Structure formats: C-alpha cells, structure tokens
C-alpha cells in the first residue's frame, strides 16, 4: 500500500503518529529507530503539483508530497476560530505528515480588507458595520452575512489575527506547502456608494432567514472598473505583508447566494471579469472556488448556466474547483468534470462540527479511485469538513487513498491505524482491533443515502414532539446501535488485560468518545418513552421517564468532564484569552463562542446547527432546556399542547444563556479519573452498557 512514505515508516515501523486532540506521539518511537532493508519509494496517483522532498536520510526515507488539499473554509470558524500559534503548529505538522501541500490560509484576512476599504475613504464605523464576529467570519467572507450581533469586531482582534497569519504562512512554506490566499470577492459595506457613487453595486440574497440588517450583502459587480482596482489593492497589500508566497487565491461569490441574474451572458461576464481582475493583480494567478453552489442551489444552476459561468475563465489552467461534497453529492459528473477545469475530489463529512461517529469508507476509497480513473481533469483530493471535531480515521483514509492506485484495503488500514494509535503502553490487546473492526463496515461505512453527514443526537436539538432533524442534519442512526455498545465493551475489556491503557491519551480520548456515542444513541429510546408516557396521560410514568432522562444527561456530562477535549470551558477559555484581560472584549468573545454552538444568530436563525456534545454545554444548556420541556409536558395534557408556547419558553432561556459568563464549577475529586467515573456511570445504567 503506497502512501506518504515518512508517515508509513512512522506508523507501520516505528508505530507513532500525530493526532487531533491527542497531539504528537512521535516521542513514543523507539530511541533507536529501526532501519529499513531498502528505501520506501513510490509516486502519487495525482499528477498535479507533484513535490519531492527528503525526509530522514539515516533511513533513506523520501516524502513525495502530492496535491491533497485541506480546505478549512468554515472550519476557520467552527474549529480554529480561537486557536493560538501553538494550536496551529501542531495542525501544520499533522498536515505535512499526511502529505497535504495546498492548505487554505484564511487567518487575518480582515486586516488587508480594512486597509483596502480605508484607502477608498470608508470610515471605521462603516467598515465595522460590515465585519462579523470571530465565530462567524467565514460567512462574512462568503457574503452570507454582514455585521456583528452582540458587539463590533475589536480592532485588536484584527491586528492579532494578522500577526498570527505572519507566523502561519512562513511555516506552511517551510513545510513545502503552497498556501491558498484570500482575494477580493466583491462583497463591500453598504455605504460604499458614498465613496464610489457611480459603482455598480447590487444587493445579494437573504441567507438562512437572517434579517436584512445582517444579510443581503452589497456586491460590487466584477464588470465595474472599481472591482479590478480593489482586487489589485487587496492582492498588492497582501503581497507586501506576506511576501510572494503563492499565486493561488480562494474566491467564492455565490456560496448559498443567488446571482443577480440568471442570464447566460451575465453569468459569463461575472467570471470573465473576476478572472481578469486576478490576472491583472497577479499574472500567475489561479482562482480556486468551491463547487458547493451547484449543489446547494441546484434549481438555479442548470447545466447551461454552469457551463456559461465557468466559460468566463478562458484558460482552464487558471482555475481549480473543489467538488466539495464528492462522497455524498458529487457534482463533477453532471458538470462534465466541470467542463475541463481542474477539480478536486473532496469530502465534507461533517456539518457544523457535529461529533457523532460516522463515515462513508467505501465512497472515500472506491468512488474516489473510480473518479480519478474516469475524469482526466481530476487533480487532487481534499478535506473540506465544516468542523474538525472527530472521526479522524475517516479523514486520514482519504489522504492516504491519494497514495494508492487501487482502493485501500480498509481491513488492513484499520488494523495498522489501531496499532500505531495505542502503541507505547505495554502489549496490544486484541480487543482494541476487534472494537474498531466491528465499526469499520458499519458505523464508518454508511450506505444509507438519505443520511449524508455526521449524525446528531436528539438531545442536542431544541426539545419538541418531533425531535428528528435539523436541516441537513439527521438523528437517524445508520447502524444497529448495539455495534457501538459492542465496540465499547471491547475497548473496556482491553484495559482489563492491559491496565496501562488508562494512562494512554489516545485510549482516554477514544473511551470518552465511544462512551459518548453509546449514551447519545441510548437517549433516543428514552426520549420516545417520554413522549409515549405523555401521550398515554400516565403521569407517574411521565415523571419517572423525565427524571431518568435528566439524570442520564447529567451522567454523560460527568463522563465528558474527564477530558479537556470534550469541555465547553475549553472553547470559552480559548475565546476569552484573545481579549488580553479587557473585560468588554472578553464578554464579546464569549458571547460569540456561546452563540455559534447554540442559537447561531441573534434570534436563533440556525439554532442547534453547530451543537456540540460537551461537558458544561450539557449541564448548563441542554439539561435546563429538557427540564423546561418536561415540566411543560407534566403540566399540559396532549389536547392542550401548544408548540409555539413551549418554543417561546425555550427561546427565552436560550437568549439569556447567550449573555452569561462562564463560571467553572469546582471539579469533584474524581473528575479526572475516567476509570472511576466510567464505572460509576456504568453501574447506574447497566442495561445501556450491556446493550439491552
């Protein structure tokens, strides 16, 4: 199996790797690294931007960096919004080790944009009314939203992010990567006509039910002469700030926005003049755009319109298109491989940073390989998840598939992954392999085409009598829940035969993660029993079912509390830390952090979309919501149920919660003892962990 040779050596010979949440385990490698009988050699299956680099000469290991792209896009808000340089250092090491050489470099864009807007005469107030808060900047950059609810974006934040970008970009280049840089998209503050009175500016479409104050962004038409001037200003200032580090620019103008016109000539002129503006600013410019718009607004984007739109870029080599959702809704076939434009087979997988165990393993291996063989303009593979919150093996599988001319042998792949993940702590119990093998063809290989992304738990969604789905996000399980219980049992048994596992960071993380999934799955029948008791007017049963449900969530909160990767406090502390002790800014940043994972908007426009299964979020947000709902059911017979009334009660609580300040409770003596907390919870919910 061919893949990144340095990583192959580290994982299969030295049995170490770098992981999300856990960090680098390279220090667990043998002090004297094993020698190879012969050098590891191979080549990429993808011909575009082939890069050759030398690894450790002592072992004659060579790294061949192929074009694989880690396109963070909205991940910059869902996951990395409050990251420090130390977080980015680990991330960039992970990217390099997995052969990624084309990462999106979106941090600090606002500093360049502010300078451009100031140059044309816009005031600080006019610019502030346009920019969005740190947890929502991705959608401001996409032109979905404008402005910031809860307060204005602090200038100190803009400056600090700019300084962070000046550390990120040199490290990317040092690691052999080509950063994908921002560009001027055309979205401008509403008062731009004050300084450019003759500019051709149109209003975009309303997005996700947001009021006009925060949506319908102003868009400077690319065929207006001012567009090219602002583009040159933006790219020029960016080059002055960062150096000549890349000629690839991300630019999306209709991400879930409708074009001003569907006329074919209009659509072609938009791309033609946007492309010309890039080439005028940088003669070597390559325009990268997402193909998501063709899926998200498929009723508008007919084949005729897509062809007209893409034809505006007259040199195919000047564009790269991300087929953003290839594993579930590929667009490359219906667009005839994007009419010859180079494109990348990408995996979204996760909406909003949701945390359920989930994957489409066959699609990542078989379908991706078939697409590479069938489409001559496929030039790479990409990770385009909305949030980087779990299921790491599914993402590494796609990156490693790029190194194999045939679909990966997933049975062997999972076996090798487990062997390196839990190494360094005594023997390797067979139950570890059995746990992951049981989930390989089920949990991580969904074939239910109605469920296309990570599954949410019903307890994360605002309580109702139809607690099933939030938009694209489903709570419908695509596997028998007993499979996850069996995996949990195998993991637990592994520690019985090798107690050192309880001190293994990877084991600790995975034990919490799989326990979380067992309990999230078990919540569904508990919820159904609650509704059934209410429908049958059985008050005693309703009271018991309601209390059981609350107790169950509180126990889940205790499990999650044992690991810092599953705590609300970690998210809020990382946000507040950027305020550098300024109380007002800290409150604004905490509001941003709270709002994104709950109401997602000033009034709950996308409520619960980016929900998380975190300790603290369960105890202070989900449990109180369920209490309100249960108390309403206890006081209201079925014939008198009023969905609007109960929703308003819940919304009142949710709105107040947004403005609270995190006051971390004093942890119990057992809070950090996963083994003890787990045994306590298991003893109280025996049937759940026995799979009954």
Amino acid 3: pLDDT: 43
- How far apart, in whole angstroms, are the C-alpha atoms of residue 460 and residue 80? 22
Return all residues near 387 (Cβ < 8 A) that are at least 6 apart. 74, 75, 78, 79, 350, 351, 352, 353, 354, 610
Q: What global pTM score does this model have? A: 0.95
Per-residue pLDDT at 331 = 97
pLDDT of residue 454: 95
- What's residue 105's pLDDT? 93
Confidence of residue 13 (pLDDT cuts 50, 70, 90): confident
pLDDT surpasses 70 at 247 = yes
| Apex 117 CA angle, 112 and 121, nearest 5 | 145
pLDDT at 63 over 60: no
Region 365-371 average pLDDT: 97
8 A C-beta contact, residue 126 and residue 218: no
- The residue among 391, 413, 429 that closes a domain is 391
Q: Which of 391, 420, 450 is the endpoint of a domain?
A: 391
Res. 418 pLDDT band, cuts 50 70 90:
very high
- End residue of a domain, out of 391, 417, 445: 391
Predicted pLDDT of residue 251: 97
Q: Which of 84-93, 183-192, 459-468, 629-638 has the lowest mean pLDDT?
A: 459-468
In terms of domains, do 525 and 385 share one?
Answer: no
Q: Average pLDDT in the 456-461 region?
A: 94
3-state secondary structure 131-169: CCCHHHHHHHHCCCCCCCCCCCCCHHHHHHHHHHHHHHH
Q: What is the DSSP letter of 513?
A: H
The DSSP bridge partners found for residue 52 are: 64
Look at residue 505 and tell me if it is in a domain: no
| pLDDT over 50 (residue 16) | yes
Tell me, yes or no, whether 491 lies in a domain. Answer: no
Q: Mean pLDDT score of the chain, rounded to an integer?
A: 92
Q: Token pair of 87, please? A: 């977080």
Q: Give the residue carrying structure tokens 């307060």.
A: 151
At 52, the pLDDT band (50, 70, 90 cuts) reads very low
DSSP character at residue 301: -
Query: Is 417 within the bounds of a domain?
Result: no
Distance, CA of 339 to CA of 336 (rounded, Å) = 5
Domain assignment of residue 280, yes or no: yes
Q: What pLDDT score does 57 carry?
A: 29
Report d(CA 226, CA 186) in Å as an integer.
Answer: 10
**Measured CA distances, 173 to 4, 92, 126, 633 (Å):** 18, 11, 35, 59
Share of the chain above pLDDT 90, in %: 83
Number of structural domains (the chain) is 2
**Which residues span the domain enclosing 299?**
68-391
Q: Give the domain CATH number at 610.
A: 1.20.120.670
630 near 548, Cβ under 8 Å? no
Q: Name the token pair of 115.
A: 């300078």
Q: Any idea what the CATH number is for the domain that residue 231 is in?
A: 3.20.20.80
Is the pLDDT reported for residue 507 higher than 90?
A: yes
In a domain, 343, yes or no: yes
pLDDT at 522 over 90: yes
Q: Name the nearest CA neighbour of 654 among 615, 583, 606.
A: 606
424 within domain boundaries: no
- Structural domain includes residue 628: yes
pLDDT at 290 over 70: yes
Residue 295 near residue 325, CB atoms below 8 Å: yes
The pLDDT, as a whole number, for residue 8 is 83
For 14, 28, 179, 303, 441, the CA distances from 420, given in Å and listed in that order, are 8, 10, 30, 46, 20
561/570 Cα distance (integer angstroms): 11
- List CB contacts of 69: < 8 A, sequence separation 6 or more: 100, 102, 103, 104, 180, 322, 344, 346, 380, 381, 382, 383
- What does the pLDDT read at residue 665? 74
Q: pLDDT-derived band of residue 467, with 50, 70 and 90 as boundaries?
A: low
Residue 653 within a domain: yes
Asked if residue 113 has pLDDT above 70, the reply is: yes
């Amino acid at each position: 199996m061919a893949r990144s040779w340095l990583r192959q050596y580290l994982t299969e010979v030295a049995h170490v790797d770098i992981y999300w949440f856990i960090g680098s385990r390279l220090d667990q490698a043998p002090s004297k690294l094993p020698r190879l009988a012969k050098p590891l050699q191979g080549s990429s299956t993808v011909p575009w931007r082939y890069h050759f680099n030398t690894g450790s000469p002592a072992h004659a290991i060579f790294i061949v960096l192929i074009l694989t792209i880690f396109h963070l896009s909205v991940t910059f808000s869902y996951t990395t919004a409050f990251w420090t340089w130390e977080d980015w250092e680990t991330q960039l090491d992970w990217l390099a080790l997995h052969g990624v050489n084309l990462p999106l470099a979106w941090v600090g864009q606002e500093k360049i944009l502010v300078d451009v807007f100031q140059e044309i005469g816009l005031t600080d107030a006019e610019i502030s009314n346009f920019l969005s808060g740190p947890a929502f900047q991705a959608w401001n950059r996409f032109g979905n939203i404008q402005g910031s609810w809860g307060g204005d974006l602090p200038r100190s934040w803009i400056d600090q992010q700019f300084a962070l970008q000046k550390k990120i970009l040199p490290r990317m280049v040092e690691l052999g990567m080509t950063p994908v840089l921002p560009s001027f998209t055309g979205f401008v503050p509403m008062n731009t006509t004050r300084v450019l009175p003759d500019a051709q500016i149109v209003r975009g479409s309303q997005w996700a039910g947001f009021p006009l104050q925060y949506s319908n962004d102003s868009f400077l038409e690319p065929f207006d002469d001012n567009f090219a001037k602002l583009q040159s200003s933006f790219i020029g200032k960016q080059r002055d700030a960062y150096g000549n580090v890349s000629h690839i620019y991300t630019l999306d103008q209709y991400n879930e926005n409708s074009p001003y016109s569907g006329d074919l000539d209009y659509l072609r002129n938009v791309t033609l003049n946007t492309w010309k503006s890039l080439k005028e600013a940088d003669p070597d410019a390559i325009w990268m755009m997402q193909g998501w718009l063709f899926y998200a607004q498929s009723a508008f984007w007919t084949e005729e319109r897509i062809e007209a739109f893409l034809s505006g870029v007259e040199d195919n080599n000047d564009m790269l298109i991300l087929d953003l959702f290839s594993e579930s809704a590929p667009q490359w076939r219906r667009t005839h491989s994007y009419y010859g434009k180079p494109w990348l087979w990408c995996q979204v997988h996760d909406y909003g940073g949701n945390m359920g165990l989930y994957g489409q393993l066959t699609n990542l291996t078989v379908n991706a390989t078939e697409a590479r063989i069938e489409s001559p303009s496929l030039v790479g593979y990409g990770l385009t998840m909305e949030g980087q919150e779990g299921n790491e093996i599914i993402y590494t599988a796609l990156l490693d598939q790029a190194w194999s001319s045939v679909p990966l042998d997933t049975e062997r792949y999972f076996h090798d992954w487990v062997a390196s993940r839990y190494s360094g702590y005594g023997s390797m119990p067979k139950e570890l392999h059995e746990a992951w093998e049981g989930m390989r063809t089920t949990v991580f290989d969904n074939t239910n085409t109605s469920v296309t992304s990570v599954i949410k738990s019903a307890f994360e969604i605002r309580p109702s009598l139809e607690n099933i789905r939030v938009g694209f996000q489903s709570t419908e399980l695509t596997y028998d829940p007993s499979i996850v219980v069996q995996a949990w049992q195998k993991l637990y048994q592994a520690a019985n035969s090798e107690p050192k596992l309880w001190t293994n960071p990877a084991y600790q993380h995975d034990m919490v993660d799989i326990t979380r999934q067992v309990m999230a799955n078990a919540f569904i029948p508990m919820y159904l029993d609650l509704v059934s008791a209410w429908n049958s007017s059985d008050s005693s049963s309703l009271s018991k079912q309601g209390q059981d449900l609350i107790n169950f969530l509180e126990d889940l909160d205790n499990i999650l509390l044992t690991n810092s990767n599953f705590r609300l406090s970690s998210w809020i502390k990382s946000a507040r830390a950027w305020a550098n002790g300024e109380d007002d800014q800290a409150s604004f940043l905490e509001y941003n952090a709270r709002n994104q994972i709950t109401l997602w908007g000033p009034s709950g426009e996308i409520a619960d979309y980016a929900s998380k299964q975190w300790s603290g979020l369960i105890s202070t947000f989900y449990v109180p919501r369920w209490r309100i709902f249960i108390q309403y059911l206890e006081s209201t017979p079925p014939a008198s149920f009023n969905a609007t009334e109960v929703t308003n009660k819940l919304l009142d609580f949710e709105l107040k919660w947004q403005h609270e300040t995190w006051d971390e409770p004093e942890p119990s003596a057992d809070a950090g003892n996963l083994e003890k907390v787990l045994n306590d919870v298991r003893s109280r919910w025996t049937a759940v962990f026995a799979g009954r």
